[in-house]
Structure 1
Amino acid sequence: MHYRELQELINLKHEGGYWDFKREWHHSKTDLLHDIICMANNLENRDAYIIIGVDEDNDFLACDISNDANRRNTQKLTDFLKDKKFAGGIRPLVHVETFMIDNASVDVIVVENSKNTPFFLTEKYDGVFPHQIYTRVQETNTPTTSSADINHIEYLWKKRFHLLDSPIEKFSFYLSDCKNWIEMPNEYVQYYKTNPEYVIEIENDDRDGYEYYLFNQTDPRPHWSTIRLKYYNTVLIEYSGIALDGGRYFSIAPRKKIISYNRNDFICFCYFTKDSLEYRVHEFYYRSKYEGSDESIAHRRFMESILIFETGNQLNEFMRYVKPIFKEYSCTKRHLVPHINLPSGYKDDAFQKDWTVFFKLSELYEQFISSLSD
């Protein structure tokens, strides 16, 4: 959650289908569990927020909760849910974020969006009943003694079985089932076994441009292609594909991000975010073709040359973290630039600079990730 989003919700001065205000942390564990389940089963198909430290009865003013005896952090909240008997053993994913609003600490329980709806208990916990499906309609939670309306329950089951997904969302889901993709004899076309209208098509690309991460391979020569994700004959999206180490290992090319200081002063790096479709494609090729094989060495060297983020939000946070300190930062470890052997007409200066930038960013990335757990 971003500060601006929180401020916007407070300024609305009412609750809604995916956010709720509490003046203080729950005294009752029953109420806390019920609120989390309702938010996990929200009908907005998005992350939901239980905002603690806002008094809706007093013009939605912020109330400092830093000394609240019932306050919980992410670990305590996760532990609280761990021993509850959820159906299938699948529990809502939650974390706590803290913000300063008008000099007051405000906590937000972020209930992460999930396809595993509906969440419900199989054993009673105090006043939360088993096999009752709770949800949230506008600003109202389903009472603990009731179950949601049948149309809302149907919606939540459809969400679990991906019946509400767009074709591109279904593509992402099917890619996780790599064993059920059938490869055509020419090896350039694959289709999903149970839904053959979903097709992956590869076409060779004649370009010969180099990227710095190629030089971390035994054979750095580039072999580019175009990856097309198709639904029937409609191209849903196209990506650049790259065959690494002389064609022994194939993957989608990573994305690039620029941190700009001014018009002629910027740094560039390559990355994946794990919540992206690009990363699903990358994982699909690795798991279906190379995992456990000799080619996994090329995969490891590839992954050592780029940055991996959990989410797009984490990527943006990292860029904000890095920008003010990058220029003055000196590497604490000794890094060796891979051997760069280029054909005539190329200069290796740019690639050496790319590696120097990457080494600094990789160290700063480790520090950034460490700071998140502090």
Structure 2
Amino acid sequence: MVEQEEILELINLGQEGGYWDFKKEWYKPDNKGKQDLLHDIICMANNLENRDAYLIIGVDEENDYVIFNVTDNEGRKNTQMLVDFLKDKKFIGGIRPTVYVKSFRIYSKTIDVVVVKNDKNTPYYLTNNFQGIRANNIYTRIQDVNTAIDQSADLDKVEYLWKKRFGLTSSPLERLELYLEDYSNWIDGPNGEMQKYYKYFPEFTIDYMPAKDGRDGYEYYLFSQTDSTPHWYDIQFKYHQTLLKELLGVSLDGGRYFTPCPDIAGITLDKTKKYNWDFSYRYFAKGTFKYKLNEFFYLQESFSEEYSRMEFFEVVLLFESENERMEFEQFVRRNWNKRDMYLNNVYMPHISNLPNYKEGAFIEEYENALVLNKMLSEFRNNQN
């Protein structure tokens, strides 16, 4: 998610660039304004920087980048209004750019930033004319200049955008991450489901086998399952015979549900303590490699085991982004004194004390996870 510090840095540069553009005010609600808004969004969605792009509204580039308040602008839009604006435009394949609006207070004035998300669905273009925007013309942005509305991008730029769609501009690891989203086209190898290859590029393979270190230990989230017996695996990702990445995975509920192990983080309640967590938690963040892999195994192998997955995420946090996670931790620090209140009306499974483990440790971790998930719901409700 875009942060105010990044927008301030771009304003202070005193120039536009390949993924950001300044506007003194919002686009007028007339035909010319609608045309310009759509043209700018398409150009930013097709930017060549391969990243999120910004239309920064409330900055006058022709007057030394002075900041203007946009709260009373005619034609000002929020996220839903922008989504509705794009909804009836005829994009190829029916796929539209993903956009949202975020407002910032800078020098006591409000500016808006239209964020155009980066993804692999380039090139974006229309199949029907809209105002002066021509069907089948591909628009992009080179440095600080958009493709003219009556022209189409140069062939090499168009080729790049199509290659981006098919993952051909990416590293092998980036391509693997892209192909994981195409879960239905992974084929089991000759050794069964524990070896897979991608149908269209079989040089990409996934192997998982019992963990080399022979581990048999427990984690608190195992007790969310009917069968809490641990089964740990090494997951290897290869391109040809090159090992690209290796992760630890766990088979839950007697093999019904398989997932990479969640990430671990912790919270220190006393800000003067820099290195010691007061408690830890396990989590995934959407958009990350691990979460994409979690979804891959669920959709590719274990779709029928929805219950096992649901119970897993009762005690493993799922964040929309890393930024949400950091903001949530601040919320937890302010509200952790209410921990016992959040524990009301929660279900705790029976967790026996195990040899070589601190008595009650798993119970405390499990309770904390239930509390944190309740707090996460409250945190999100407060954001709306």
TM score, norm. by length of structure 2? 0.92
Distance 1:198 1:97 in 2: 39
Counterpart in the other structure of 2:112: 107
Q: CA deviation at 1:186?
A: 3.1
Q: Is the 8 A contact 2:314 2:370 kept in 1?
A: no
CA apart distance, 1:342: 3.9
* Secondary structure of residue in 1 paired with 2:337: coil
User: Is the Cα–Cα contact under 8 Å of residues 136 and 142 in structure 1 kept in the other structure?
Assistant: yes
Q: What amino acid is aligned across from residue 91 of structure 1 in structure 2?
A: R
Q: Does 1:266 align with 2:271?
A: no
Partners of 1:341 and 1:245 in 2: CA distance: 17
| 2:328 aligned with 1:318 | yes
Q: What RMSD over aligned residues (CA atoms) do the two structures have, in Å?
A: 1.7
Q: In the alignment, which residue of structure 2 is the partner of 1:198?
A: 204
Is 1:168 paired with 2:178?
no
Rounded Cα–Cα distance in structure 1 between residues aligned with 2:9 and 2:337: 35
Counterpart-to-counterpart distance in 1, 2:131 and 2:120: 27
- Cα distance in 2 for residues equivalent to 1:81 and 1:43: 22
CA contact (8 A) 1:22 1:54 kept: yes
1:228 and 2:236 correspond: yes
What's the counterpart of residue 129 of structure 1? 134
In 1, the alpha carbon distance for the partners of 2:277 and 2:230 equals: 28
**C-alpha separation between the residues in 1 aligned to 2:185 and 2:125?**
30
Match of 1:350 in 2: 361
Match of 1:138 in 2: 143
The answer to whether the 8 A contact 2:353-2:360 is kept is no
Alignment partner of 1:335 is 2:343: no
2:314 aligned with 1:304? yes
Mapped to 1, the partners of 2:359 and 2:190 lie a distance apart of 40
Mapping of residues 207-286 of structure 1, within 5 Å: 207-261=215-269, 262=273, 263-286=275-298
Deviation per CA, 1:237-264: give whole Å up to 9, x if none: 1111111123332221111112223244
Task: Give the match for residue 153 of structure 2.
Answer: 148
Q: Deviations over 1:20-40 (max 9, x none)?
A: 011110111111111111111
2:12 matches 1:2: no
Mind listing any 5+ residue stretches in structure 2 that lack a counterpart? none
- Residues of 2 paired with 1:264 and 1:120: CA distance? 52
Which residue is 2:70 aligned to? 65
For 2:128 and 2:255, the matched residues in 1 are separated by 54
Deviation (angstroms), 1:328: 4.3
Q: Deviations over 1:123-172 (max 9, x none)?
A: 11112121111111101111111111111111111111211121111111
Counterpart position of 1:25: 26
Letter in structure 2 aligned against 1:350? A
Structure 1 residues 193-231: Cα deviation after superposition (integer angstroms, max 9, x where no partner):
232211111121211221111111112121111111111
Structure 2: how far apart are the matches of 1:264 and 1:16? 42
Q: Secondary structure at the residue paired with 1:229?
A: strand
TM-score by length of 1: 0.94
CA distance in 1, matches of 2:36, 2:5: 28
Tell me, yes or no, if the aligned pair for 2:314 and 2:373 is still in contact at 8 Å. no
CA distance in 2, matches of 1:265, 1:278: 23
TM-aligned CA deviation for residue 354 of structure 1: 1.1
Hey, what's the Cα distance between the residues in 2 that align with 1:321 and 1:175? 33
| Cross-structure match for 1:363 | 374
Aligned mates of 1:4, 1:299 — CA distance in 2? 38
Structure 1 Cα separation of the partners of residues 257 and 128 of structure 2:
49
Cα 1:102–1:152, aligned 2, differ >3 Å: closer, same or farther?
A: same
- Residue identity over aligned pairs, in percent, reads 46
Q: Is the contact between residue 53 and residue 118 of structure 2 (CA under 8 Å) also seen in structure 1?
A: yes
Match of 2:164 among 145, 149, 159: 159
1:23-102 mapped onto 2 (5 Å cutoff):
23-27=24-28, 28-102=33-107
The number of equivalent residue pairs is 371
